[in-house]
Amino acid sequence: MESKRIADLNVSSRILLGPGPSMVSPRVLRAMATPVLGHLDPQFLTIMEEQQQLLRMVFQTQNELTLSIPGTGSAGMEAALCNFIEPGDQVLVAIMGFFGERLAEMAQRYGALVDRVEKPWGEVFDPVEIEEALKAKTYKLIALVHAETSTGALQPGIAEIAAAAHRHGALLVLDTVTSLGGMPVEIDAWQVDVAYSAAQKSLSCPPGLAPLTVSPRAREVLHKRKTPLTNWYLDLNGLEKYWQPPHAYHHTAPISLHYALREGLRMVEEEGLAARFERHRFNANLLWEGLDALDLPPLVQPRHRLTTLTTPQIPVSIDDLAVRQRLLEEYNIEIAGGFGPLKGKVWRIGLMGFSSRRENIALLLAALDQILR
């Protein structure tokens, strides 16, 4: 106890251009310094209600059961699956990258009988292929990723996939971790049943909360469960009683992160969804042009690219790790490497939320040019 070895917090100001966390606006950081309220304080209950309202705006939904899971994006993924899966349920997972794999793994842990349809990493499904797979048997649900953070690919045709799922009696669970707040996510128009995201991607808030929305159809499935859910912390039956009246105690909400998410969502509302999506598109185009000029062409075909996350291919002559280390140490820029089959083959460059600014792109391209030349 004598030795005071741990010094004052003193971190570098990183330019976060990886797959998340993205940079957090000073407005949002400041909100976190607000004194803490109790988790059942009437003022805090109002903040939760306002947050729900803002989440409905960004998810483009009227779903009553729209809230934030008190954990990071993976907790949102787990909540979106485990609440709707009972042991022995048939589940279909469409996999085109790392997070599709994670969906399959989690579903299996909860006793689902999982069938997989797969695409090589970097490609996407034709909705018709998914409808074909749905014909194999009666699935309780199909889960897939909208914006694959491991590859930079955007799955198109979500409305068609949802319609196919419903024709075959399945719910659609959609991962919008890397799209929500940066690209259109239209839960009601597309008829998605369960969608989740993460605060630290295109919403540009600190990590620790996972927005989640549940359609009336899925909510009915939830309330008709026959077996109790193993998971206590992520049990939506407990969570909904806290978020909605009677506001019964479930867990102690991470108050400061809720302050931050509320502020970040207000910034989304102020900018407007359409303008925000256009900003992400415009900036992604600048990045793509710059990468092409550096002979670092993105892996994904232009029409299936995320505007929030780009995956340039690394020429074999270039040392992945060494470049990323120089970017971090010499320029304070964080980008990420690839996972699994893409390890060493692509970088992952995020332009999400507050990170999606012209100055960041100009700097990154200049730094890459200097390092690679």
Residue 254 lies near its own copies (rule: CB under 8 A)? yes
Q: Give every CB contact of residue 166 below 8 A, 6+ residues apart in sequence.
A: 172, 191
Interface with its own copies, residue 334, by CB under 8 A:
yes
d(CA 125, CA 144): 10
Q: Cβ closer to its own copies: 102 or 146?
A: 102
φ, ψ at 325 (rounded to 5°): -65, -40
Interaction of residue 338 with its own copies, rule CB under 8 A: no
Q: Judged by CB under 8 A, does residue 239 bind its own copies?
A: no
Name which position in 67, 234, 299, 349 contacts its own copies (CB under 8 A). 234
Q: Would you say 280 and 154 are in contact if contact means Cβ atoms under 8 Å apart?
A: no
Among residues 220 and 269, whose Cβ is nearest to its own copies?
A: 269
253 in contact with its own copies (CB under 8 A) = yes
β-pair partners for 154: 147
Q: How far is residue 269's CA from residue 57's CA, in Å, rounded to a whole number?
A: 8
- Of 90 and 256, CB closest to its own copies: 256
Whether the upstream peptide bond of residue 246 has omega within 30° of 0, thus cis, is: yes
Tell me the Cα Rg of the chain: 21
Judged by CB under 8 A, the residue of 266, 304, 345, 357 near its own copies is 266
Mark out the alpha helices in the chain (DSSP H runs): 26-32, 42-59, 73-82, 98-109, 127-134, 158-167, 187-190, 216-223, 236-243, 255-271, 273-293, 320-331, 358-372
Candidates 159-167, 202-210, 288-296, 297-305; binding stretch for its own copies (CB under 8 A): 202-210
Q: Least separation, in Å, of the C-beta of 273 and its own copies?
A: 6
**Does the protein bind its own copies through residue 78 (CB under 8 A)?**
yes
Task: Decide if residue 260 touches its own copies (CB under 8 A).
Answer: yes
Confirm or reject binding of residue 38 to its own copies (CB under 8 A): yes
By C-beta, is 109 or 326 nearer to its own copies? 109
Of the candidates 100, 205, 183, the residue with the CA atom closest to the CA atom of residue 148: 100
The yes or no reply on residue 340 touching its own copies (CB under 8 A) is no
Q: Which of 63, 176, 178, 200 binds its own copies (CB under 8 A)?
A: 200
Q: Does 168 bind its own copies (CB under 8 A)?
A: no
The token duo for 120 is 């090589």
31 part of the interface to its own copies, by CB under 8 A: yes
- Answer yes or no whether residue 211 interacts with its own copies by CB under 8 A: no
Verify binding: residue 110, its own copies, rule CB under 8 A.
Answer: yes
Euclidean distance between CA atoms 34 and 104, whole angstroms: 39
